[in-house]
Amino acid sequence: MADKKRSWQTYLAIAAIWLLIMLVFVAYSARQSINQARDEVRQTGTALHRVLSQRAAQHDAHLTSLNALILSANPPPVDALRQVSRNIIRFYPRISIIDVMLLTREGARVSAQPFLMVDESEHETIAGAFAVQIAGQKPGEVRTYLSDKVGDRYYLGKKSDNSNPGYAIIMAINPALMIEPNERPDWADLSLSIDGKTILQQHSALQNAPSLLKPVVYTQQIDSQNQPLLLTLSRPIVLSEMIDPRRTALLAVVSLLALLVSYSLWQSVRAAKKAEQKAQLLEHETRLAHAARVNSMGELASGIAHELTQPLTALLSQSQAALRLEASGERPDLLKQALTANVREASRAGEILKRMRNYMSNHEPQRKPMDISQSIRDVSELLRTDLAQRNITLLIQTEKNTPAIMGDAVEMEQVLYNLIRNAADSLVQTEKTDKQISVTARSGQGQLVITVSDNGSGIADDVLPRLFEPFFTTRNGGMGLGLALCTTLIERIDGEITAANRPEGGAEFTIALPVAETSSIKV
């Protein structure tokens, strides 16, 4: 459960890192495209500004040359003026009208009559209206006029340098033709205005594309003293430019893969380290368990020596009897009987030694299906003399067909040995006459439960919580490692060991182990 939660947290962390990478990337590329858009707008704006300023200067130049022609004769040479005007209009299509008005002044009143109208003479009225205002200009001065009637033009009015009669030269300019189609950027809104009034507005092809940011704007007054044209370029920052879908998708896939690969690499390195540590720990525990078994054999040595004496004494007396029978040559049946007894006693001694050797063997623990009843019997045999010497009865109650558990037989014997020895040590402290240790093994619900109980004085309340701590002991000369080792060996095979006091007195240790999936035991 905890592992599942941890892996969810890890995946959430990976997703968060991935999102962060994507956000940084999106922010970075948005910044890049904004900078790019700014550069683009500045460069294009500067180029357009230069071109428009040059074109505005050309208007001035045309007006100057027309003025010069007007001054060249009195009255001005109409044909030459018409010719020049037509040429101007032909070569500069943005100049759509050139009118020359004769200004006469009678007292304070100024009247204007058409002197020359080149093209679009329907504008006569507009020209007439401007001519009166132009009459108020200084001689030679040029001014810009806007008409309410024709909103997409602007007019330049110049008053000739002579006066009374003076002339007003009026030039209509179509701002849409001031910029060539190839000079217009299609990615920006372009506008030209005079004194806040827009005379040209062209929309960008991107104007309807979704955008999150304010557009980048370039605005600059055209370099001209008398044509106050304001150029404005406005470039929308479009979402699809800010986030290149292909690059973003590629980065999303690559970064996610990189994160997952690094995570699994990191996990396998960690798993390898863990496995190494586990192997080292297992080795230490195995060595410790072995040392404890060898040590316990020292404690049992006198009992075992005593136990061995019995079959050896029997062997000796039976052999002596056999020799006598052989010498007398009588009763060959008795000779056979003596020899049979010898074989039995020798194998009994051999069994004792085999159990000892087994118990002390230093081997890699092998987890395989095993019969706990057999281990209980082997341990009881090992401890038989020791318990008998201490006047302790060992009762064993196991089911007929105890299910197999997965474990190492020697290590299970060691656990049982420790529990029985502890029970015996506790019983020795009591004055009881019927000292008893009982070992049971019962199965149920996929578990095998083994109990080791005694009718000693039980475990003190302050000792109970610390019982399984390493180096905790109340025994004189005790190491306090027995129960800690039992815990290690039992937990290693997915079991659990607990201790409690019995209501009727004495302690009870319970081991619960999972039953092996296969109940067959390989011997």
Q: Does 418 sit near ligand ADP (CB under 6 A)?
A: yes
Q: How far is CA 393 from CA 340, 351, 381, 439, 503, in A?
A: 31, 22, 13, 11, 20
Q: 469: which residues sit within 8 A by CB, 6+ positions away?
A: 480, 484
* Burial label, 455 (beta-carbon count in 10 A; 0-12, 13-18, 19+): buried
Question: Rounded to whole angstroms, how far apart are CA atoms 202 and 204?
Answer: 7
Q: Identify whether the C-beta of residue 192 lies closer than 8 Å to the C-beta of residue 49.
A: no
Q: Identify whether the C-beta of residue 30 lies closer than 8 Å to the C-beta of residue 243.
A: yes
Residue with tokens 């060992």: 394
* DSSP string for 182-207: GGS-TTSEEEEEETTEEEEEE--TTT
In eight-state DSSP terms, residue 402 is P
Q: Does 202 sit near ligand ADP (CB under 6 A)?
A: no
Q: Which is nearer to ligand ADP, 318 or 426 (CB)?
A: 426
Quote the least distance from Cβ 413 to ligand ADP, whole Å.
Answer: 15
**From the list 140, 151, 478, 505, which residue makes contact with ligand ADP (rule: CB under 6 A)?**
478
Q: Does 385 sit near ligand ADP (CB under 6 A)?
A: no
Q: Does 473 sit near ligand ADP (CB under 6 A)?
A: yes
**From the list 507, 511, 515, 516, which residue makes contact with ligand ADP (rule: CB under 6 A)?**
507
Going by their DSSP bridges, the two strands 189-194 and 109-118 should be labelled as: unpaired
Q: Does 77 sit near ligand ADP (CB under 6 A)?
A: no
Nearest residue to ligand ADP by CB is 482
CA angle 261, 267, 271 (to 5 degrees): 145
Q: Which is nearer to ligand ADP, 262 or 391 (CB)?
A: 391
CA angle 384, 386, 392 (to 5 degrees): 75
Quote the least distance from Cβ 352 to ligand ADP, whole Å.
Answer: 25
Residue with tokens 């470039």: 235
Q: Does 475 sit near ligand ADP (CB under 6 A)?
A: yes
In eight-state DSSP terms, residue 217 is E
Q: Which is nearer to ligand ADP, 159 or 435 (CB)?
A: 435
Question: Rounded to whole angstroms, how far apart are CA atoms 277 and 287?
Answer: 15
Quote the least distance from Cβ 503 to ligand ADP, whole Å.
Answer: 15
**From the list 29, 145, 472, 492, which residue makes contact with ligand ADP (rule: CB under 6 A)?**
472
Q: Which is nearer to ligand ADP, 142 or 481 (CB)?
A: 481
**From the list 134, 168, 325, 423, which residue makes contact with ligand ADP (rule: CB under 6 A)?**
423
Q: Does 300 sit near ligand ADP (CB under 6 A)?
A: no
Amino acid found at 266: W
**From the list 480, 496, 500, 514, which residue makes contact with ligand ADP (rule: CB under 6 A)?**
480
Quote the least distance from Cβ 468 to ligand ADP, whole Å.
Answer: 7
Q: Which is nearer to ligand ADP, 53 or 488 (CB)?
A: 488
Q: Does 390 sit near ligand ADP (CB under 6 A)?
A: no
Q: Does 392 sit near ligand ADP (CB under 6 A)?
A: no
Between 430 and 459, how does the x/- string for binding to ligand ADP read (CB under 6 A)?
A: ------------------------x-x--x
Q: Does 56 sit near ligand ADP (CB under 6 A)?
A: no
Q: Which is nearer to ligand ADP, 330 or 469 (CB)?
A: 469
Q: 90: which residues sit within 8 A by CB, 6+ positions away?
A: none
Q: Give me 483's structure tokens.
A: 């129960």
Question: Rounded to whole angstroms, how far apart are CA atoms 154 and 131?
Answer: 14
**# binding residues, ligand ADP (CB under 6 A):** 21
Quote the least distance from Cβ 507 to ligand ADP, whole Å.
Answer: 4
Going by their DSSP bridges, the two strands 392-398 and 197-202 should be labelled as: unpaired
Q: Does 386 sit near ligand ADP (CB under 6 A)?
A: no
Q: Which of residues 1-20 bind ligand ADP (CB under 6 A)?
A: none
At 32, which helix (H) or strand (E)?
helix 2-72
Q: Which is nearer to ligand ADP, 259 or 292 (CB)?
A: 292
Which residue ranges make up the site for ligand ADP (CB under 6 A)? 418, 422-423, 426, 454, 456, 459, 463, 467, 472-475, 478-484, 507
